Chain A
């Protein structure tokens, strides 16, 4: 496991902290063991409250890194529920365990050699066609992604659609943990987004133009000047800079247009 119970007795900790926290305590079960934790805590904080210290299975604490995938069940409900431990608040009687990592093979490839054809994905992930459309992946996604539809898009060779549907994927791997066909959906989606971003989306022409302008030295002088400004003067320049108004129209321009 990637979580470790600290040596001191968690019950003891709970008793000590109970006096300081006014919140009502509710029972939860972490890997089958009962703990009383204050209601309103996230699963992650509740586990820490119960005495667990995370050395893995915990990353951004903001719902975007995908490190703290958690499965749980509620009393009287046969359905398996999923959540990110840093996002979901505890509920009375929930039985839970973290699945911070789930083994899934990631294909090896030299990205520059790949084309944008569907066959590239088929060759690297032939297990794609083991999908039986059971939809367990979608039900397991804490991000609400239509995982099965994105897999269907890949089978249809629609890399752009797979990239679009899977855009919010944080690669927590819960889909993969539930897959009847043993697919590694999140790795397939990553490949789809890479191919889409690098080989399907049109290049932004204005970006190349802007890089050209920078390389020609248009901003060298002003940057050089800024580098040598005293701290107080720099603060003043920053505070007095002209900002774009909140409700500016498309055609808004600053008064000083020298660097546009």
Chain B
């Protein structure tokens, strides 16, 4: 079955370790991720200014690309792209005046009214494949791998785009359980990584990272699982800074959820591009007998 898919720019450069294992895994699960043609930047961040419609043009244009293909659903992998596209979609569906303004500005495109449904790949795994069916496809259960789900913000906030319960999400825990791993709940799992504050206040980022890592560690986690390249960057860079400043700080591995998926499905680990990860995921996985 084919599924229209929006990758996002970062997945083609820095976060190939998020995309490539996803494409390979979905194929095993019977879904072909079909990249929509002529896609552009998602807009990077959803603009909150009421009258700043120019920054809605990029996400809406991508939704139009999906509609042009006759698709009624668009899957995303990057949590940030998911958030921006889904919120722009809601705007087009619910705000007639702004919809008209945007449609008339993009007079070279077909009109759009929010017809396409934006979904995150985790939702496809949960709602279309199901955890039970996924568990049955697992060839290499990630036994004894103690992973803490880190959601960050963009899969859960604001409420109207959340893929799960905003206060107490379980989707990543259920995902990890299906792969045979040992999920570790921890109170910082939905805390913000600092997002684009990395540019103006980089010191704050390593403080956030310290709280997140310390909390995960004290609850017994050996690694974090992520869905967002910006969380990955901030936690990865933050960790590097912490190691420079504090001798006692212990490095923790960061995984994209798709890497663990591909590994558990028994795919060639090369597709996971662990070499692009922060930390030393290889040594942790070898220690657990999950990588030779």
Contact = CB atoms under 8 A, between A and B. Distances in A.
Q: Do A and B come from one complex?
A: yes
Interface in B1-56: 7, 9, 12-13, 38-41, 43-44, 54-55
A148 interface: yes
Contacts of B55: 132
Contacts of A148: 40
Given A139-B108, A180-B54, A131 B41 contact: yes
A152 B65 CA distance: 14
Contacts of B105: 134
A155 interface: yes
Contacts of A158: 12
Contact of B13 (A139, A146, A157): A157
B13 A134 contact: no
Nearest to A131: B41
Contacts of B57: 132-135
A129 B55 CA distance: 13
A131 B105 CA distance: 16
B31 to A, nearest CB: 22
B108 A135 contact: yes
Nearest to A152: B40
> Which of B13, B55, B57, B105 has the most chain A CB within a 10 Å cutoff?
B13
A135 B39 CA distance: 13
A118 interface: yes
A48 interface: no
A152 B106 contact: no
A156 B13 contact: yes
B200 to A, nearest CB: 16
B87 interface: no
Contacts of A139: 108
B252 to A, nearest CB: 27
Given A152-B39, A152-B41, A155-B41, A133 B9 contact: no
A139 B107 CA distance: 11
A149 interface: yes
B199 to A, nearest CB: 12
Contacts of B38: 146, 149, 152
Contacts of B58: 131-133
A133 B12 contact: no
A137 to B, nearest CB: 12
Contacts of A134: 54, 57, 105
Interface string A136-151: 0011000000101100
B106 A135 contact: yes
Interface in A87-129: 118-119, 129
A202 B73 CA distance: 39
A157 B57 CA distance: 21
Interface string A165-197: 000000000000000100000000000000000
B173 interface: no
B111 to A, nearest CB: 15
A156 B9 contact: yes
A133 B108 contact: no
A135 B13 CA distance: 23
A191 B58 CA distance: 24
A180 B52 CA distance: 13
B270 to A, nearest CB: 20
A132 B9 CA distance: 14
A118 B39 CA distance: 18
Interface in B193-236: none
B225 to A, nearest CB: 25
Nearest to A154: B9
A129 B58 CA distance: 12
A120 to B, nearest CB: 12
Contacts of A146: 38
A118 B13 contact: yes
Contacts of A138: 108
9 contacts: A119-B13, A132-B57, A135-B57, A135-B106, A138-B108, A155-B40, A156-B9, A158-B12, A180-B54
Interface of B: 7, 9, 12-13, 38-41, 43-44, 54-55, 57-58, 61, 105-106, 108
Interface of A: 118-119, 129, 131-135, 138-139, 146, 148-149, 152, 155-158, 180
Task: Please give me the 10 A-B residue pairs with the lowest Cβ-Cβ distance, nearest first.
Answer: A133-B58, A157-B13, A156-B12, A152-B40, A133-B40, A155-B9, A156-B9, A118-B13, A157-B12, A133-B61
